[in-house]
């Protein structure tokens, strides 16, 4: 019979965050290009139809035409900024994201012995954000880390939690939804 390792240490993985930043950076670039194309088309329509358009119609044409593309540019920029902040948090994180051993669990720097663990769950982030691994102790205090920050699959982590807690704890995924 082989002995179980003394602990499972899960580090922070910056790769998914960097991939999201690159994706949204490309999206911003794409949206800006489409905004530029929209401006050129609006100017061409205005040059072609300027005798038929009064001042109010010309203003409405530009406002409506640019508002549509402008909203998409703003959304892309907001998503890029959020992805950048997430990557900065991963890069600034010290130590490891999760540590599991026979004495207890540590999530994002908060150490809780098994006897003090109320539950461990995965929850959706606010506004459809990335799922979080949340540790709640018996006093109600929580500590969390985004699952995408982990360099280990959630199933591996769940197996370690079950083994080290002798089956008394596991990752509750029921609130994650489908």
The mean of the pLDDT values for the chain is 85
Split at pLDDT 50, 70, 90, the class of 76 is: very high
The whole-number average pLDDT for the span 37-66 is 83
Q: Which residues contact 28 (CB under 8 A, 6 or more apart)?
A: 73, 76, 77, 80
Identify the pLDDT of residue 33.
94
CATH number of the structural domain 98-172? 2.40.50
| pTM summary value | 0.65
Instruction: Enumerate the domain spans of the chain.
Output: 15-92, 98-172
Confidence of residue 2 (pLDDT cuts 50, 70, 90): very low
101 backbone dihedrals φ, ψ, rounded to 5°: -145, 180
Model pLDDT for residues 119-157, shown as the tens digit of each residue: 999 888 665 567 889 999 999 999 988 888 888 888 889
């Amino acid at each position: 019979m082989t002995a179980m390792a003394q602990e499972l240490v899960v580090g922070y993985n910056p790769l998914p965050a960097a991939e999201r930043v690159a994706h949204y950076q490309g999206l911003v670039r794409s949206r800006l290009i489409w905004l530029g194309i929209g401006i050129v088309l609006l100017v061409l329509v205005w040059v072609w139809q300027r005798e038929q358009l009064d001042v109010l119609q010309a203003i409405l044409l530009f406002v409506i035409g640019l508002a549509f593309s402008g909203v998409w540019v703003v959304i892309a920029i907001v998503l890029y900024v959020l992805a950048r902040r997430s990557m900065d948090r991963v890069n600034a994180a010290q130590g490891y994201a999760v540590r599991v051993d026979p004495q207890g669990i540590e999530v994002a720097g908060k150490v809780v012995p098994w006897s003090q663990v109320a539950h461990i769950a995965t929850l959706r982030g606010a506004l459809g954000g990335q799922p979080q691994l949340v540790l709640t102790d018996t006093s109600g205090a929580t500590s969390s880390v985004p699952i995408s920050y982990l360099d280990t699959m959630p199933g591996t982590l769940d197996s370690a939690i079950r083994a080290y807690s002798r089956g008394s704890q596991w990752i509750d995924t029921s609130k994650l939804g489908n």
